[in-house]
Structure 1
Amino acid sequence: MGEEAVMDATEVIRHQNGSSNHQSLEFDIYPLNGYYFGSTNAIPFKDETLADRIQRKKSNYAAHGIRNCVEAVMLVELFKHPHLLLLQERNSIFKLPGGRLRPGESDIDGLKRKLASKLYVGENGDGAEWEVGECLGMWWRPDFETLLYPYLPPNVKSPKECTKLYLVKLPGSRKFIVPKNHKLLAVPLCQIPENHKTYGTIISGVPQLLSKFSFNMIGLE
């Protein structure tokens, strides 16, 4: 087959989606060396058994209803490949930056607040520096003891938890300040799929959620 008959993958996407639609799916990511990583005071971990954690969730549900969480998907470039930023606790537990919303708090405001408190504190500490993009997906916990699902089972009328993943666009440079007992790691996106034993069900599904985007790696020749 001649070269003239081979269509570039980008052209395939453009023909399938239309040039204007393809443009909206481009996503800029910047080199890791443009970011500064520092540390601040450690945040105490909640040392509790599984039974204690479930009981705490039951108490919170009785007081506030469903537990709503928001988490950030942030990408950087390293070795010409996209990397996902993950927080690591106790040298073994990986998490996307984010956390639980306050009662009545919007997704965007809550995620900005969590990012400002866990990763970076600006002059006002209000999270205004963070650019939160589209919601990539939603995960549901039907009961206190079950795993999270990427859909809400039709027989579940009162789910106990909902976690939403949002794409957060990073500028070319930023200071990340994390607690001393946490690590902020850049993990190759290609190592995450189907690796739920290491990263958990939500994180291992992130690459598939990002498959519709064309990454534009800024600063690479």
Structure 2
Amino acid sequence: MVSSTVVNTYPLSNYTFGAKEPKMEKDTSVADRLARMKINYMKEGMRTSVEGILLVQEHNHPHLLLLQIGNTFCKLPGGRLKPGENEIDGMKRKLSSKLAASTPSFQPNWQIGECVATWWRPNFETIMYPYCPPHITKPKECKKLFIVHLTERDYFAVPKNLKLLAVPLFELYDNVQRYGPVISTIPQQLSRFQFNMVTS
């Protein structure tokens, strides 16, 4: 794990993007997802998930890489940890599953930085909080967001049914309607970091 208050951001044009086989979503709707979460909760207990904050820069401003499903829904790369799986190992596994080429020689060297936010899902509902409400003794999900330090150049393979977008922080800020409560608060969470805009 890399701990640093400085985040080097490299130009989006430094990165190469390719495609790989589609990664089908397990759920076709939010209701399906919550129903599956309930079944898994009965078997394994609280869901623990990790998501990565990957930053590039354009026009001297940090941009967040988001995966877009369909025309509207955006999410961070990441997902559920296996029972007992270490968070950093799980984060690397999920990033490779979402963004790495199928060829082992093209695997990025993922540098996982610090955890910048923890979100809690008290019930089998879409609502999540950046704290666990005091009356909730058995939250249903704990989601942690980690900063991922990208290298200067890399190759990302994006599943064919998804798009990878580079969204400027100013567009995310306070834009809950478009990006939801978790993604729209990332600019605040990153405010304590110093961005080193590497231009070459």
TM-score category (smaller protein): over 0.9
Indicate the residue corresponding to 1:209 in structure 2: 189
Indicate the residue corresponding to 1:84 in structure 2: 64
Is the CA contact (8 Å cut-off) linking 1:112 and 1:128 kept in structure 2? no
Give the TM-score of the pair, scaled to structure 1: 0.84
CA distance in 2, matches of 1:74, 1:143: 29
- The gaps in structure 2 that reach 5 residues or longer are none
Pick 1 or 2: higher relative contact order, CA cutoff 8 A, min separation 6: 2
Give the C-alpha shift of residue 50 in structure 1.
Answer: 4.4
Give the C-alpha shift of residue 47 in structure 1.
Answer: 4.8
CA distance in 2, matches of 1:115, 1:54: 23
Indicate the residue corresponding to 1:173 in structure 2: 153
Give the C-alpha shift of residue 121 in structure 1.
Answer: 3.3
Give the TM-score of the pair, scaled to structure 2: 0.92
Indicate the residue corresponding to 2:14 in structure 1: 34
Indicate the residue corresponding to 2:199 in structure 1: 219
Q: CA-atom RMSD, angstroms?
A: 1.8
Residues 124-163 of structure 1 show CA distances to partners (whole Å, capped at 9, x for unaligned) of 48x6710000000100000002501000111110000010
Is the CA contact (8 Å cut-off) linking 1:141 and 1:162 kept in structure 2? yes
Give the C-alpha shift of residue 84 in structure 1.
Answer: 0.5
Is the CA contact (8 Å cut-off) linking 2:100 and 2:108 kept in structure 1? no
CA distance in 1, matches of 2:6, 2:137: 37
- The gaps in structure 1 that reach 5 residues or longer are 1-23
The yes-or-no answer on 1:111 pairing with 2:91 is: yes
Matches within 5 A, 1:39-58: 39-58=19-38
Q: What SS is found at the alignment partner of 2:192?
A: coil
1:184 aligned to 150, 159, 164, which one?
164
CA distance in 2, matches of 1:158, 1:47: 24
Give the C-alpha shift of residue 192 in structure 1.
Answer: 0.5
What percent of counterpart residues are identical?
51
